[in-house]
Copies of this chain bind each other. A is one copy, B any other.
C-alpha cells in the first residue's frame, strides 16, 4: 500500500492517519475534506502528507471514510465506482446496516470492508486527533465474507498493527447492540447536560459544586452533533427501543422513591454494581 486517502480528517480519521503513518512510514496519506480549512489544519498538524479531492481516489490503494454516517451512505457508491480494481475502501461509521445496504449490489462490493473501530473521545476536528487512540480497542467488522480475501487481509493487518482486536458481527446485530452500549450513553449524557443547564443556567456558581462524577457522566454531551444526528437517524428504531427501556427504569426508580421503598432502591443499585465486573478492562 502506497497511497492512502482519508476522507474526513477529524478525531477518527486524523487519529488513524497518525498511527498508520507511524507503522507504515512509506505510505503517503492524502486528506480529503469538504472544508479547505480542515485540510489546512490537518496538514499543519502533520496528520496528512497531502491535500486531495474525491476525484483523486482513482489512484488509491486504500480509502478510509471517516465522515458522518449519512454522508458515508451518500458517497460510498461513487468512491467504489472510482477506485482501481485492486483498491480497498473501508469505513469507520458507528452504524453499519444502512452503510452495508448502500453497496450490497455494487459491482465492486468486494472492494469494501465495513468496520466500526470502537474508540473516540468527546472532542472533534483535526486538533482532536491523537496517537494511540485505537490501542487495545475493539474493531467490529461486518459482512467480512463479502470482501475479497486479499483485501480483508490488508485491512485487518492495518488495524491490528495499530493495536485493535477484531470482532465479527452482522450489521443488524451490530446496530442493535451498539444502541445499548454506545448510542444510549450519548443521549443519557446529552439530556443530563440539558437538565442541569436548563435548571442552573442563571446560577453559574452552582457549577462549582459539580465534581468529577458529574463531569464523567456528562462528558459525552460534548460530542459533535454533526456526527451524532445522522447516527440516531440511521439507528432510529433501535435507539428508540433503548430509550424506552431506560425511561421505564428511571420512572420505576422514581416511583420506588415516591413510595419510600428504599429497600428496593438499594437492591436496584446493588444489582447495577454488577457493571464493575463487566467493565473490567475498559478504560
| A contact residues vs B (CB 8 Å cutoff) | 118-122, 137-138, 140, 165, 167, 174, 177-178, 180-182, 184-200, 203-223, 225-226, 228-230, 232-233, 236, 239-240, 242-247, 249-251, 253-254, 257-258, 260, 262, 265-276, 278-279, 282-283
Contact = CB atoms under 8 A, between A and B. Distances in A.
B272 A221 contact: yes
A204 B216 CA distance: 24
B218 A279 contact: yes
B191 A272 contact: yes
Given A118-B210, A188-B250, A240-B254, 5 more contacts: A184-B192, A185-B218, A187-B250, A223-B269, A247-B247
A127 B257 CA distance: 31
A183 B271 CA distance: 18
Contacts of A122: 213
A194 B258 contact: no
Chain A: interface secondary structure? helix
Most buried by B among A198, A209, A257, A266: A209
B210 A196 contact: no
A193 B282 CA distance: 14
Contacts of A177: 200, 203, 206, 209
A258 B282 contact: no
Contact of A254 (B165, B208, B243): B243
A200 B181 contact: yes
A278 to B, nearest CB: 5
Most buried by B among A197, A207, A239: A207
B118 A211 contact: yes
Contact of A182 (B121, B210, B257, B271): B210
A154 B215 CA distance: 31
Contacts of A199: 180, 242, 245
A15 to B, nearest CB: 13
B276 A209 contact: no
A128 to B, nearest CB: 13
Most buried by B among A210, A230, A246, A254: A210
B212 A283 contact: yes
A71 to B, nearest CB: 14
Nearest to A241: B199
A268 to B, nearest CB: 7
A59 to B, nearest CB: 34
A232 to B, nearest CB: 6
A208 to B, nearest CB: 5
Contact of A119 (B189, B212, B222, B267): B212
